[in-house]
């Protein structure tokens, strides 16, 4: 008996799985976009199961504040590229899997080329722009997409764009959410998330991939599973068997001009009078703590567009950089020549940068 026979013996013994199922896993090519709270457990279990090729796409670096749910990393990895660290660690877990790190940011320029290299995609992203981009790219490429999302104590899982027997495709993310105002929805950093939820939902995503590849079980296609970590109850919302959306092209990714916390601190310490801070958080957040500047809440921004035509560079900030990026996008849509920057990582990174 060789090493693979021993390693995979328990799953090969499953009814309806067998050596044929294991052979299908070995041939499969899976891409995980986002090596964070969802991507880590998904990658661990897919690697352990013997997936032939596993790509991990993430341009971000390991941060201490995320270690409570991003279980592939250690404090010593802080500042290193997630995709690179994840592949190195997973390769030790299973040397027989081909692991490919993709460290470029996923944009409208490269997403189609990326997803076409793989059989099925896992969405482990944490922002709506990338989520919609990935969804649309999978629809245009004819690739199934395993969706996962977590916030506070609730998680969601679904399989999008599955090919039905009649040749039609199952619903995709836009069937559930045609459009979302990302500025009104806090992310995990702002709203919080229980760490075990990331593991539960990430494992469910890996489970859907294994079912799809081995042709076993009933996939979460045309429906969304919603899980409550506080009550340990789940429910399924049915969307119907066929997508009603018509996606013909990708929406061009907008590149947001940013400034790092270190660069901003340096310029402020040098009394650089060419920049001006703008706080786009709520009044309650502003009262609790701020680093100065003009206060213009995000939901009031359009009423103050004239302010952004002045000669100084406006540096917009919020708690994590999410809302300030949305604010910069809004301003540049209305005023393409405006000199505006978003503070990368928001106040969280600014505080961590120290004096």
pLDDT digits (tens, 9 = 90+) for 55-105: 999 988 888 878 999 999 999 998 889 999 999 999 999 999 999 999 998
Q: What is the DSSP string of 113-168?
A: HHHTT-SEEEE---SHHHHHHHHHHHHHHT--EEEEEEEBTEEEEEEESPBPTTS-
Active-site annotation holder among 40, 87, 138, 318: 318
Whether 189 shows a pLDDT value over 60: the answer reads no
pLDDT digits (tens, 9 = 90+) for 256-309: 899 999 999 999 999 999 999 999 998 888 998 999 999 999 889 999 999 999
Q: Are 329 and 254 in contact (CB under 8 A)?
A: yes
Domain 258-352 has CATH 3.30.420.40: no
Q: What is the pLDDT of residue 206?
A: 98
| CA separation for the pair 104, 163 (Å, rounded) | 29
- Closest by Cα among 238, 236, 115, 246 to 168: 246
Q: Bridge partners of 315?
A: 277, 341
Strand, coil or helix: what is 82? helix
Q: Are 30 and 97 in contact (CB under 8 A)?
A: no
DSSP assignment letter at 273? T
| CA separation for the pair 233, 28 (Å, rounded) | 32
* Whole-number Cα distances in Å, 240 to 89, 144, 155, 169: 40, 16, 21, 11
Higher pLDDT, 354 or 221: 221
Q: What Rg do the C-alpha atoms of the chain give, in angstroms?
A: 22
Q: Is the dihedral of CA 186, 63, 280, 286 positive or negative?
A: positive
- Superfamily the domain 3-238 falls into: NAD(P)-binding Rossmann-like Domain (3.40.50.720)
| CA separation for the pair 355, 351 (Å, rounded) | 8
Active site residue 203: no
pLDDT digits (tens, 9 = 90+) for 202-259: 999 999 999 999 999 999 999 999 999 999 999 999 999 999 999 999 987 777 899 9
Active site residue 10: no
Domain locations in the chain as residue ranges: 3-238, 258-352
């Amino acid at each position: 008996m060789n090493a693979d026979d021993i390693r995979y013996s328990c799953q090969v013994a499953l009814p309806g799985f067998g050596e044929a199922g294991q052979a299908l896993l070995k041939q499969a090519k899976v891409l995980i976009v986002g090596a964070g709270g969802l991507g880590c457990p998904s990658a661990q279990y897919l690697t352990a199961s013997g997936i032939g090729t596993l790509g991990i796409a993430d341009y971000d670096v390991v941060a201490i504040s995320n270690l409570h749910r991003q279980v592939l990393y250690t404090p010593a990895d802080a500042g290193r590229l997630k995709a690179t660290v994840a592949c190195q660690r997973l390769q030790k877990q299973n040397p027989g899997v081909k692991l490919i790190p993709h460290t470029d940011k996923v944009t409208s320029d490269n997403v189609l080329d990326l997803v076409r290299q793989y059989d099925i995609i896992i969405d482990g992203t944490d922002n709506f722009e990338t989520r919609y981009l990935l969804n649309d790219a999978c629809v245009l490429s004819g690739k199934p997409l395993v969706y996962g999302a977590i916030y506070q104590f609730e998680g969601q899982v679904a399989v999008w764009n599955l090919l039905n027997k009649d040749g039609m495709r199952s619903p995709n993310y836009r069937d559930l959410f045609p459009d979302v105002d990302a500025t009104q929805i806090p992310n995990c950093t702002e709203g919080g998330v229980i760490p075990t939820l990331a593991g539960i939902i990430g494992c469910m995503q890996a489970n859907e991939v294994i079912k799809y590849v081995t042709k076993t079980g009933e996939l979460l296609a045309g429906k969304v599973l919603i899980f409550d970590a506080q009550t340990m109850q789940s429910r399924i919302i049915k969307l119907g068997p066929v997508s009603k959306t018509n996606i013909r092209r990708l929406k061009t990714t907008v590149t947001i001009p940013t400034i790092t916390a270190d660069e901003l601190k340096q310029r402020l310490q040098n009394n650089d009078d060419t920049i001006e801070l703008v706080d786009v958080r709520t009044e309650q957040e502003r009262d609790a703590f701020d680093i100065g500047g003009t206060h213009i809440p995000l939901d009031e921004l359009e009423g103050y567009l004239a302010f952004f035509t002045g000669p100084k560079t406006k540096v917009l900030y919020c708690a994590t950089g999410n809302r300030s990026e949305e604010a910069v996008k809004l301003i540049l849509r209305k005023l393409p020549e405006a000199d505006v920057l978003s503070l990368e990582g928001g106040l969280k990174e600014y505080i961590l940068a120290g004096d």
